[in-house]
């Protein structure tokens, strides 16, 4: 069977990642020096006079919670103020048409999508639609999605619509990522939109149940051709503010071993959000350049998966794509973000894996156009 491994869509209310934006919500709302010159619904166009020794003004588009979506320079060598305002208004229109709800209601055709992306090429929600089209064309037998489906637990309806042909036939396995279930980061999310962990877990449970999957926790799935897939929920956070680290409870691992024994013979593969192994050449379980990101019990999970004879382990989270096959251990596949791409600068791609009860036959990168 052919499995497509995707990850980290980060779908959001307006197609931007909260943490990628130039200004945190509290600064965008309160920073002095920016003056609102136009209001469109809850959105604002703001201006700031040139700084000392600079000859250009700046204009920016701010949404209802104070998140900055686009900044433009105005003046000599750049567009005029009127032209820039027009461009921001066109951009705003595009953003309002591309909320997850709007896109789910009327999922764009490839031609419509091309046009929308030409207006707003970095819109993550639109990028997700491109991913969905690519996967529909490729027609894999099963999808494995390793978490961070959303940026802050908004937009599950778009995933349901995009992968509808796969969901409706039970051919998707999906585990949560820290962005899906950890509490909204207070620095980035305005108070009225902040969600607690319990609220996000409820939203995840509804999403997961609508796919016919357990509302929470780890579970085993028996796929076709003797493939046994273990879905591990690694989203158990540390009690440290802002930490994105994870942990797989040992109880889940023991239960998984029991269920595998009961599932009969087959090739064992697993998926989880957090990475067990770092990029090749880094030490196991040590994450020197990623404070707050690691799987805290990586060594124990690694040992258990190795002992149980797993052949493949898939993860997301780092937005770095790599494969690493230590001796006598499973092959580890890390997926980049399918919408944003890879931190190395590589364009988005997904892993295509050909597997059956006899083993892994082919593993390759498939670019997402």
Near Fe ion by CB under 5 A: residue from 4, 5, 6, 8: 8
Total of chain residues touching Fe ion, rule CB under 5 A: 5
- CB distance 204 to 245 below 8 Å: no
Identify which of residues 268 and 317 has a Cβ nearer to Fe ion in the complex: 317
* d(C-alpha 179, C-alpha 58), whole Å: 32
Kindly state the smallest distance separating residue 293's Cβ from Fe ion, in Å: 8
Number of residue whose CB is nearest Fe ion:
148
Torsion 167-171-177-182 (CA) sign: positive
Q: How far is the CB of 9 from Fe ion (least distance, A)?
A: 9
Q: Is residue 237 a contact residue for Fe ion (CB under 5 A)?
A: no
Q: How many CA atoms lie within 13 A of 277 on its CB side?
A: 24
Phi, psi of 274 (to 5 degrees): -75, 150
- Binding part of the chain for Fe ion, among 65-73, 177-185, 214-222, 245-253 by CB under 5 A, reads 177-185
Among 47, 178, 304, 338, binds Fe ion (CB under 5 A): 178
Q: Which range of residues in 8-16, 50-58, 209-217, 355-363 is near Fe ion by CB under 5 A?
A: 8-16
Question: Rounded to 5 degrees, what are φ and ψ at 128?
Answer: -65, -40
334 is a contact residue toward Fe ion (CB under 5 A): no
- Residue closer to Fe ion by CB (options 4, 228) is 4
For the chain, what is the total number of helices (H) and then of strands (E)? 11, 15
The interface mask with Fe ion, positions 255-294, x = CB under 5 A, is ----------------------------------------
317 lies in the site for Fe ion, by CB under 5 A: yes
CB of 33 to Fe ion, least distance (A): 33
Helix (H) or strand (E) holding 345: none
8 Å CB contact between 98 and 116: yes
Nearer to Fe ion, 143 or 223 (CB): 143
Residue 236 as a binder of Fe ion (CB under 5 A): the answer is no
Residue 65, CA atoms < 13 Å, CB-side half-sphere: 16
Binding piece for Fe ion, criterion CB under 5 A, among 114-122, 248-256, 315-323, 328-336: 315-323
How far is the C-alpha of 184 from the C-alpha of 194, rounded, in Å?
A: 5
Question: What span, in angstroms and rounded, lies between the C-alpha atoms of 298 and 154?
Answer: 29
- DSSP 3-state of 103: helix
Taking CB under 5 A as the binding criterion, the range among 106-114, 158-166, 170-178, 306-314 that sits at the site for Fe ion is: 170-178
Comparison of 8 and 154: residue with beta carbon closer to Fe ion: 8
Binding segment toward Fe ion, per CB under 5 A, in 33-41, 58-66, 136-144, 314-322: 314-322
- Looking up tokens 């036939």 gives 169
Closer of 70 and 317 to Fe ion (Cβ)? 317
Q: Smallest gap, in angstroms, from Cβ of residue 10 to Fe ion?
A: 6
Q: Of 60 and 317, which CB lies nearer to Fe ion in the complex structure?
A: 317
Give the one residue of 148, 154, 233, 252 binding Fe ion; rule: CB under 5 A. 148
Q: Closest CB to Fe ion among 23 and 148? A: 148
* Binding-site member from 108, 140, 177, 341 for Fe ion (CB under 5 A): 177
Which residues lie below 8 Å from residue 244, measured CB to CB, with a gap of 6+?
178, 182, 237, 292, 293, 317
Candidates 14-22, 80-88, 178-186, 323-331: pick the segment binding Fe ion (CB under 5 A): 178-186
DSSP SS3 for 43? strand
In angstroms, the Cα distances linking 231 to 154, 186, 235, 259 are 22, 30, 12, 12
| Residue 42 CA: distances (Å) to CA of 36, 61, 68, 99, 155 | 12, 11, 13, 15, 20
Measured from the CB atom, is 8 or 233 closer to Fe ion?
8
**Site residues for Fe ion per CB under 5 A:** 8, 148, 177-178, 317
């Amino acid at each position: 069977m052919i499995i497509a491994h995707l990850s980290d869509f980060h779908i959001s209310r307006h197609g931007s990642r909260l943490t990628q934006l130039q200004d945190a919500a509290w600064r965008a709302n309160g920073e002095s020096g920016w003056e609102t010159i136009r209001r469109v619904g809850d959105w604002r166009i703001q201006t700031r006079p040139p700084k000392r020794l600079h000859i250009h003004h700046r204009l920016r588009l701010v949404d209802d919670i104070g998140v900055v979506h686009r900044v433009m320079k105005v003046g000599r060598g750049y567009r005029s103020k009127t032209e820039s305002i027009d461009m921001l208004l066109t951009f705003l229109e595009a953003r309002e048409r591309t909320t997850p709800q709007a896109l789910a209601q009327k999922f764009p055709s490839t031609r419509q999508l091309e046009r929308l992306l030409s207006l707003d090429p970095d819109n993550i929600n639109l990028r997700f639609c491109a991913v969905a089209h690519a996967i529909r064309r490729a027609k894999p037998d099963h999808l494995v999605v390793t978490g961070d489906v959303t940026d802050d637990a908004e937009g599950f309806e778009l995933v349901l619509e995009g992968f509808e042909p796969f969901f409706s036939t039970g051919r998707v396995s999906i585990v949560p990522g820290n962005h899906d279930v950890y509490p909204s980061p207070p620095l980035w999310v305005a108070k009225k939109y902040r969600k607690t962990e319990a609220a996000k877990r409820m939203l995840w449970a509804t999403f997961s149940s609508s796919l016919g999957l357990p509302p929470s926790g780890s579970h085993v799935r028996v796929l076709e051709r003797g493939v046994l897939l273990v879905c591990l929920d690694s989203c158990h956070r540390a009690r440290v503010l802002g930490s994105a680290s994870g942990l797989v409870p040992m109880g889940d691992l023991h239960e998984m071993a029991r269920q595998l024994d009961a599932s009969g013979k087959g090739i064992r593969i697993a998926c989880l959000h957090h990475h067990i192994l770092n990029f090749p050449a880094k030490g196991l379980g040590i994450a020197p350049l990623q404070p707050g990101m690691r799987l805290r019990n990586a060594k124990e999970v690694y040992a258990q998966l190795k002992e149980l004879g797993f052949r493949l382990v898939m993860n997301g989270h780092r937005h770095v794509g790599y494969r690493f096959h230590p001796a006598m251990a499973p092959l580890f596949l890390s997926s980049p973000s399918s919408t944003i791409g890879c931190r190395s600068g590589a364009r988005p791609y997904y892993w295509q894996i050909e597997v059956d009860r006899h083993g892994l036959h082919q593993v390759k990168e498939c670019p997402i156009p």
